[in-house]
Structure 1
Amino acid sequence: MERSLRGFTGAGYDKGRPVLVQAAWFAVLHLVFVKWWFPARWRPAVLRAFGARVGRGVLIRRGVRVHWPWRLEIGDDVWIGEDAWLLNLEPITIGSDVCVSQGALLCAGSHRRTSPTFEFDNGPIRLEPGSWVAARAVVLRGVTVGRGAVVGAAAVAHRDVGPGSVVRTGAAA
């Protein structure tokens, strides 16, 4: 199939807030939120101010990027490590006692590979309580990581991960 990216329309995708709110979020994100000097204890409050639902005891380290805070729900006692990226074109729900480690990517956006114009094929992500997305792991759109499950370092979860299961790279454990 030939691609014609010039014809991309993004049909059916709603960013969820007016352009001025989007611009304000991107300014705060890039000028303050991701910076090493911005106190970790203030990051949950900033996310709440932009519409995220964030529980108690949430620790968000420096360099964490959240695409749309208003599409984010975080439970209690969650850790999000340095340089994690929450690309939440659709909702991302993170249950309580979840760890999203350094450099992890939660990618709720994608494209239809059969679309000549590469239109969106997005889907929500859910991390159930007690799960762990380890360093540089990737969770793709539409995936639920079950209670107590682990997506190991550098692994890719491209389909649901059952409760207590472990997804790892091809290397021997």
Structure 2
Amino acid sequence: MRSWLLDSNESVNMNNRYNLLSFLHLVIHVLIHDLKYRIKPVILFGFSNFLPDLLVFGILRPFLWRLAGVDIPLFGHCVIRKDVWVDHPEKLKIGNNVQINRGTTISAHGGVTIMDDVTLSFYVGIHSLSHKGLKHEIDVLKPVSIGSGSIIYSHAVILPGTIVGSNCVVGAGALAKGDIKSGSKVINFLPKIDI
């Protein structure tokens, strides 16, 4: 009976060693990935967001974004406020005369194109990545496009695969999904709840 205990203890130790090695492998993989792909954009976006929220810095931020990998015109009259974050900046394309306000998050994993003369108000979310599977372990990438002259108001969310046509309005707090024809308005009203 004592030998059985030793064998089970050894198997527990082997499992612990395997788990430790798997964990260390994951940590090394993540560090290499971060150093190779993410360190430069993180530093540049971090510095960009550290600058004061003055118009002069809003005009200079596109230069930092270009260094981070965003396809943005250097002299395209774009204004970017502070506290804006972009994941996978190399998959983001921005046109001329675009204004991006504070708190906006752009998840460009699947590609995001923002055409000319677009305004993104405060705390807009643009997402080109979703997940599926029982544990959300499978990434689903779908590109997002916002047509020229469109205005996306505060706290609106653009979901993966959405194509917003030209001169569209996405209202405050709206959830945009699918193909939105040019000149359309997307406005979501919350149901009234009486208590």
Question: Greater relative contact order (Cα 8 A, min sep 6): structure 1 or 2?
Answer: 1
Cα deviation 1:63-87 (Å, max 9, x = unaligned): 1111122111111101001111111
| Residue 171 of structure 2 is aligned to residue 152 of structure 1 | yes
Alpha-carbon distance between aligned partners in 2 of 1:103 and 1:138, rounded to the nearest angstrom: 9
Do 1:127 and 1:145's aligned partners in 2 also have CA atoms closer than 8 Å?
yes
Cα deviation 1:15-44 (Å, max 9, x = unaligned): xx98424122112222x1222427112211
Do 1:75 and 1:95's aligned partners in 2 also have CA atoms closer than 8 Å?
yes
Query: Where in structure 2 are the equivalents of 1:5-154 lying within 5 Å?
Result: 19-30=35-46, 32-37=47-52, 39-55=57-73, 56-112=76-132, 115-118=133-136, 119-154=138-173
Q: Normalising to structure 1: TM-score of the pair?
A: 0.82
Cα deviation 1:69-115 (Å, max 9, x = unaligned): 21111111010011111111111100000011110000111012xx2
Structure 1 residue ranges without an equivalent (≥5): 1-16
Higher Rg = 2
Do 1:110 and 1:120's aligned partners in 2 also have CA atoms closer than 8 Å?
yes
What one-letter code is carried by the residue in structure 2 that aligns with 1:132?
Answer: I
Alpha-carbon distance between aligned partners in 1 of 2:88 and 2:60, rounded to the nearest angstrom: 17
What one-letter code is carried by the residue in structure 2 that aligns with 1:138?
Answer: V
Runs of 4+, deviation exceeding 3 Å: none
Do 1:36 and 1:63's aligned partners in 2 also have CA atoms closer than 8 Å?
no
Structure 2 residue ranges without an equivalent (≥5): 1-32
Alpha-carbon distance between aligned partners in 2 of 1:117 and 1:168, rounded to the nearest angstrom: 32
State, as a whole percentage, how many aligned pairs show the same letter.
Answer: 26
What one-letter code is carried by the residue in structure 2 that aligns with 1:24?
Answer: K
Alpha-carbon distance between aligned partners in 1 of 2:159 and 2:42, rounded to the nearest angstrom: 23
What one-letter code is carried by the residue in structure 2 that aligns with 1:33?
Answer: S
